[in-house]
């Protein structure tokens, strides 16, 4: 129970603080919506590995993992579309990797990796060796989360710094935990082999 | 005393080094002349530009954009040219009409425009400056503030006379 409260707090508080940001004053709805699609997607990326790894109490929530994954990808795409509608030049610069802002390239990389990881996730049950597919899925997922987190940390925007850092650290930690969990048996096997 | 080959080689090297140094010495001087090389357009400088920003007294209060405009090569200040400025403020983004305006440089080539405090747009607190008139080459700048709490920014830039020869 405590764990669920903690996870919910880390995921929701940054979004709530950002929603109260004075920077939103006078901004078009499309800009606010585009920005918040990104913020909520980041928040979901923190919860996402926890749903898969069984770090939350109760059984593994793979049904939720699939749903949250699909929503996160949709929000990331919505984030780009929303900001494009508000300021096409800035988004085109980012997508063409010509942006003056250092965080844009991490955003684009995160978006691409997120699509790849969703595709891999969808294929896990369709391939002969789901365990291997799941391991690759978790590693690419970690890379996607690192890109998204670094993208968010470098941005000076509606999110408040401390809650943003906690969320980003939580997201990277949760993804890393999922990777370790999936690779632990493999490492143990290698170690046994090295020992004999 | 005979000079051993090794010494001879060393001697030649010394002469070569001396030559290189004498030839290279003027290079830093050239680089200094480069201080009045024309300012180059920045990445993203043109973003959200709407040509012909109206002449304004100010765009609010609380933030001051100022600087000197100079002539490439001669470094002479350029009086009476139009500087266009736009930025995001509490009134809205960079496309908000009340967030863009033009000012003229004075006799010393200085311009100054007060605006409302700059609000970060696209993840960075920044302003835009444009020069797009006959006489000098078009220039688009996108200077970034050190912090969103800054109350001023000074942006000096250098214009190159345009090739049509209209430049003074």
* Model confidence at A160: pLDDT above 50: yes
Higher-confidence residue of A5 and A125: namely: A5
Mutate to test the interface with B, among A42, A83, A101 (most CBs of B within 10 A): A101
Quote the DSSP letter at residue B99: G
Q: How many helices (H) and strands (E) does chain B have?
A: 2, 8
| Axis-axis angle for helices A29-53, A130-154 (nearest 10) | 140
CA nearest to B45 within chain A: A100
Residue ranges per structural domain of chain B: 5-36, 63-159
Closest chain B CA to residue A159 = B123
Q: What is the pLDDT of residue A195?
A: 77
Query: Could you tell me the CA-to-CA distances from A42 to A35, A60, B9, B145 in Å, in that order?
Result: 11, 21, 65, 26
User: What's the CA gap between A169 and A149, in Å, rounded?
Assistant: 8
Residue A89 with chain B: CB contacts under 8 Å: 44, 46-48
Backbone angles phi, psi at B97, to 5 degrees: -55, -35
ipTM of the shown complex: 0.83
CB contact under 8 A, B96 and A27: no
Interface test with B, best of A26, A93, A95 (most B CBs within 10 A): A26
Kindly report, residue by residue over A45-78, the tens digit of the pLDDT: 999 999 988 788 766 678 899 999 999 999 999 9
Closest residue to B48, CB basis, from A89, A98, A100: A89
A83 chain-B contacts, CB cut-off 8 A: 122
Structural domains for chain A: 2-93+101-195 (1.20.120)
Q: Measure A157 CA to nearest chain B CA, in Å.
A: 5
Q: Quick one: which of A33, A13, A32, A46 has its CA closest to A160?
A: A13
Mean pLDDT by 10 residues, chain B (168 residues): 47 53 44 73 94 96 97 96 96 93 98 96 95 96 95 97 63
* Chain B contact set for A87 (CB, 8 A): 47-48, 93-95, 121-122
More confident of the two residues A131 and A108: A108
Query: Closest partner residue to A103 among B42, B123, B148, by Cβ?
Result: B123
In the predicted model, what is the mean pLDDT of residues A128-149?
95
What is the model's pLDDT at position A47? 95
Q: Hunting for tokens 């991490």 — which residue is that?
A: A106
Q: DSSP for A29-61, please give it.
A: HHHHHHHHHHHHHHHHHHHHHHHHHT-SSSS--
Is the CB of B44 less than 8 angstroms away from the CB of A26? no
Q: What residues of B are in contact with residue A103 (Cβ under 8 Å)?
A: 123
CA distance A68 to chain B (A): 26
Cα–Cα dist A37/A33, whole Å: 6
Q: How far is CA B137 from CA A162, B141, B161, B164, in A?
A: 45, 13, 6, 10
CB contact under 8 A, B47 and A31: no
| Residue-level pLDDT at A46 | 97
In this prediction, residue B16 carries a pLDDT of: 57
pLDDT band at A25 (very low <50, low <70, confident <90, very high): confident
CATH pick for B63-159 out of 2.40.50.100, 3.40.50.1780, 2.60.130.10, 3.40.50.300:
2.60.130.10
């Amino acid at each position: 129970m405590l764990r669920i409260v903690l996870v919910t707090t880390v995921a929701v508080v940054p979004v709530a603080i950002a929603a109260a940001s004075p920077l939103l004053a006078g901004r078009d709805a499309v800009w606010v919506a585009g920005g918040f699609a990104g913020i909520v997607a980041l928040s979901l990326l923190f919860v996402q590995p926890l749903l898969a790894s069984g770090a939350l109490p109760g059984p593994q929530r793979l049904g939720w993992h699939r749903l949250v994954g699909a929503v996160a990808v949709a929000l990331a795409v919505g984030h780009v579309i929303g900001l494009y509608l508000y300021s096409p030049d800035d988004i085109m610069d980012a997508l063409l990797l010509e942006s003056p802002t250092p965080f844009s390239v991490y955003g684009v990389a995160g978006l691409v990796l997120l699509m790849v990881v969703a595709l891999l996730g969808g294929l896990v049950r369709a391939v002969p060796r789901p365990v291997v597919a799941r391991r690759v899925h978790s590693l690419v997922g970690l890379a996607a989360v690192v890109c998204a987190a670094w993208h968010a940390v470098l941005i000076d925007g509606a999110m408040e710094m401390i809650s943003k850092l906690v969320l980003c650290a939580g997201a990277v930690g949760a993804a890393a935990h999922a990777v370790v969990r999936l690779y632990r048996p493999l490492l143990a096997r290698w170690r046994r082999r090295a020992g004999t | 005393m005979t000079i051993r080959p090794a010494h001879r080689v060393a001697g030649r090297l010394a002469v070569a080094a001396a030559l290189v140094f004498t030839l290279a010495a003027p290079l830093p001087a050239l680089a200094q002349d480069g201080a009045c090389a024309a300012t180059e357009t920045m990445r993203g400088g043109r973003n959200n530009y709407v040509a012909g920003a109206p002449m304004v007294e100010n765009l609010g209060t609380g933030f001051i954009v100022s600087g000197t405009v100079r002539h490439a090569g001669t470094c002479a200040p350029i009086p009476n040219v139009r500087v266009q400025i736009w930025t995001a403020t509490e009134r809205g983004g960079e496309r908000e009409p009340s967030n863009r305006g033009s000012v003229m440089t004075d006799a010393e080539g200085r311009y100054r425009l007060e605006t409302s405090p700059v609000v970060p747009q696209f993840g960075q607190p920044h302003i835009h400056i444009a020069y797009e008139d006959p006489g000098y080459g078009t220039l688009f700048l996108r200077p970034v503030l050190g912090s969103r709490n800054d109350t001023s920014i000074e942006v000096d830039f250098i214009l190159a006379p345009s090739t049509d020869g209209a430049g003074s």
